[in-house]
């Protein structure tokens, strides 16, 4: 196991009706003037925003509202949010929504007191200072409720990049599984896929002897395998929603990733797809991961064979472990298809003729020098072949 530090100070409030206490938590973490940031329509139409406003009013907090965050959140609304916060002297950002709303909130929080362009943080500058952020999560997926990360799409050029820093970790996150019961089936499935991707991207490691985190990841993958079909069959299954929601947080606050190298090639390859085609991040991952895994599995056949036997119930073929490894990848892809995820470029809405452009931005964008690295280093030629496997 490698040396590591682990710092995850978010205060979690989990359970039914927990959002009704949001005003108390904003106060507890020092907020006086709040930006309530939200998405397109779900938070409004479910009545959630009304309850949030009532709780803020009850605590005597001032607030302004800014909606309109789109999935794969854009830089334009971040600039608007930063201006609004400066004008209204906002000192706390409350995200009401999914990963996109939370990431947009984090970007605004980082930008308000920064004199330069907030995009500097998405070009490699670490975030050291930000307004406080709190969240009310409405979809189990990105894990942004417990992570120090934010992913934004730059509208000039339509490419997606991440920024990171403990300063943007949410001070509190309110997780009520019942809020996720209004999700369309496709969004539930995309979220489940993203959670499983966060687990796989950590499982694919070059660090040896990491049994505790391997076992944690396997447990969470098994939980997802068990709970996902229950939610797809009955969207109102509170207990299954609850298990998925907490798994989504655990998958990405890095408790399963400490002390080990991690992959993230699938995420990097996918981010170009959701930036260019505006597809759901989880749907893009459902197409990306099987291709990446089939391309790289020979780098560590036994690791893929291990997840195949421990999670997907495959029989170990000791004479031909590569067969077991591939069976596990097939089983994972069948699972993703069974919950309604796409299997190829066509189903995702991606185009073969764009592959050179995707590879160029992926491997040359933002100072990259012709490759991406993770579990294995992938050259432009490798990435081209991987995208071609998705067609």
Of 36, 90, 93, 151, the one binding ligand NZQ (CB under 6 A) is: 151
**Residue 278 in contact with residue 300, Cβ under 8 Å?**
no
Question: Which residue is closest to Zn ion by CB?
Answer: 194
Stretch of residues binding ligand NZQ (CB under 6 A), selected from 17-25, 92-100, 287-295, 357-365: 92-100
Q: How far is CA 19 from CA 40, 54, 62, 173, in A?
A: 19, 11, 18, 10
Cβ atoms within 10 A of the Cβ of 9, count? 10
Q: Which does 266 bind (CB under 5 to 8 A by kind): Zn ion, ligand NZQ, none?
A: none
Which position among 135, 144, 205, 213 is part of the footprint of ligand NZQ (CB under 6 A)? Answer: 144
Q: What is the dihedral of CA 167, 41, 183, 165, to 10 degrees?
A: -10
Part in contact with ligand NZQ (CB under 6 A); list of ranges 29-37, 96-104, 343-351, 379-387: 96-104
Q: Max CA-CA distance within the chain?
A: 69
Binding pattern to Zn ion, positions 154-193, x when CB under 5 A? ----------------------------------------
Distance CA 203, CA 375 (A): 10
**Options 9, 11, 41, 124; binder of ligand NZQ; rule CB under 6 A:** 41
Write the CB contacts of 120 (distance below 8 Å, at least 6 apart in sequence).
Answer: 114
Please state whether beta strands 132-137 and 92-97 pair in parallel, antiparallel, or not at all (unpaired): parallel
Beta bridge partners of 373: 377
Q: How many whole angstroms separate alpha carbon 364 and alpha carbon 198?
A: 24
Buried b (16+ CB within 10 A) or exposed e, 343-371: eebeebebeeeebeebbebbbeeeeeeee
Q: Which residues pair with 152 in a beta bridge?
A: 161
Closest contact distance (angstroms) between CB of 10 and ligand NZQ is 12
Q: Is 40 in the site for ligand NZQ (CB under 6 A)?
A: yes
Q: Smaller CB distance to Zn ion: residue 195 or 386?
A: 195
Question: Under 8 Å CB-to-CB from 25, ≥6 apart: which residues?
Answer: 11, 13, 134, 172, 174
Q: Is 147 a residue that touches ligand NZQ (CB under 6 A)?
A: yes
Q: How far is the CB of 337 from ligand NZQ (least distance, A)?
A: 19
The Cα–Cα gap between 302 and 316 comes to 10
Measured from each CB, the residue nearest to ligand NZQ is 98
| Chosen from Zn ion, ligand NZQ, none, partner binding at 139 (C-beta under 5 to 8 Å by type) | ligand NZQ
Closest CA to 152 of 144, 160, 142: 160
Residues 171 to 230 in contact with ligand NZQ, rule: CB under 6 A: 179-180, 182-183, 187, 191, 194
Question: Could you say which of 26, 101, 289, 358 contacts ligand NZQ (CB under 6 A)?
Answer: 101
Site membership for ligand NZQ, residue 99 (CB under 6 A): yes
Distance of CA 343 to the CA centre of its chain: 20
Residue 262 C-beta: closest distance to Zn ion, Å: 12
By CB under 5 A, name the one of 19, 103, 145, 194 that touches Zn ion. Answer: 194
Residue 103 as a binder of ligand NZQ (CB under 6 A): the answer is yes
The nearest distance, CB 218 to ligand NZQ, in angstroms, is: 20
Q: How many residues belong to the site for ligand NZQ (CB under 6 A)? A: 35
The Cα–Cα gap between 145 and 56 comes to 20
Choose the stretch contacting ligand NZQ; rule: CB under 6 A; options: 14-22, 38-46, 56-64, 298-306: 38-46
The answer to whether 188 touches 232, Cβ cutoff 8 Å, is: yes
| DSSP code for 341 | -
The listed partner (ligand NZQ, Zn ion, none) that binds 141, CB under 5 to 8 Å by sort, is ligand NZQ
Smallest separation, CB 100 to ligand NZQ (Å): 3
| Locus of tokens 């969240």 | 135
Query: Is residue 281 near ligand NZQ by the rule CB under 6 A?
Result: yes
Query: Min. distance of Cβ 315 from ligand NZQ in angstroms?
Result: 32
Q: Inter-axis angle of helices 265-277 and 355-364, to 10 degrees?
A: 130
Q: Which does 41 bind (CB under 5 to 8 A by kind): Zn ion, ligand NZQ, none?
A: ligand NZQ
Residues found near Zn ion in the complex (CB under 5 A): 194
Residues found near ligand NZQ in the complex (CB under 6 A): 39-43, 71-73, 97-101, 103, 138-139, 141-144, 147, 149-151, 179-180, 182-183, 187, 191, 194, 252, 267, 281-282
């Amino acid at each position: 196991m490698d040396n590591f530090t682990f710092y995850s100070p978010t205060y979690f409030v989990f359970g039914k009706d927990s959002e009704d206490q949001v005003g108390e938590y904003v106060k507890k973490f020092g907020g006086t003037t709040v930006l309530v940031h939200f998405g397109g329509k779900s938070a409004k139409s479910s009545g959630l925003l009304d309850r949030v406003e009532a709780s803020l009013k009850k605590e005597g907090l001032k607030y302004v509202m800014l909606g309109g965050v789109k999935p794969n959140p854009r830089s334009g609304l971040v600039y608007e949010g930063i201006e609004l916060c400066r004008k209204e002297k906002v000192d706390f950002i409350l995200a009401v929504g999914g990963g996109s709303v939370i990431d947009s909130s984090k970007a605004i929080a980082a930008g308000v007191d920064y004199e330069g362009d907030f995009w500097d943080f998405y070009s490699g500058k670490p975030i050291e200072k930000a307004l406080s952020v709190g969240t009310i999560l409405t979809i189990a997926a990105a894990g942004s409720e417990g992570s120090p990360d934010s992913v934004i799409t730059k509208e000039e050029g339509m490419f997606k990049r991440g920024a990171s820093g403990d300063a943007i970790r949410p001070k509190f996150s309110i997780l009520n599984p019942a809020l996720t019961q209004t999700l369309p089936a496709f969004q539930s499935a995309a979220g489940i896929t993203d959670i499983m991707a966060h687990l796989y991207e950590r499982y694919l490691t070059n660090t040896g002897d990491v049994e505790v985190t391997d076992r944690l990841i396997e447990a969470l993958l098994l939980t997802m395998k068990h709970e996902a079909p229950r939610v797809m069959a009955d969207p109102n299954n509170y207990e299954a929603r609850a298990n998925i929601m907490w798994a989504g947080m655990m998958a990405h606050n890095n408790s399963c990733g400490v002390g080990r190298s991690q992959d993230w090639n699938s995420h990097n390859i996918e981010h170009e797809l959701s930036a260019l085609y505006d597809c759901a991040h989880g749907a893009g991952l459902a197409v990306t991961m099987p291709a990446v895994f089939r391309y790289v599995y020979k780098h560590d056949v036994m690791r893929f064979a291990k997840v195949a036997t421990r999670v997907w119930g495959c029989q170990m073929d000791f004479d031909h472990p590569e067969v077991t490894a591939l069976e596990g990848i097939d089983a994972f892809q069948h699972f993703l298809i069974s919950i309604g995820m796409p299997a190829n470029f066509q189903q995702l809405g991606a185009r073969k003729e764009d592959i050179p452009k995707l590879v160029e931005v992926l491997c040359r964008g933002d100072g990259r020098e012709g490759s991406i690295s993770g579990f294995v280093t992938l050259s432009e030629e490798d990435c081209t072949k991987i995208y071609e496997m998705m067609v």
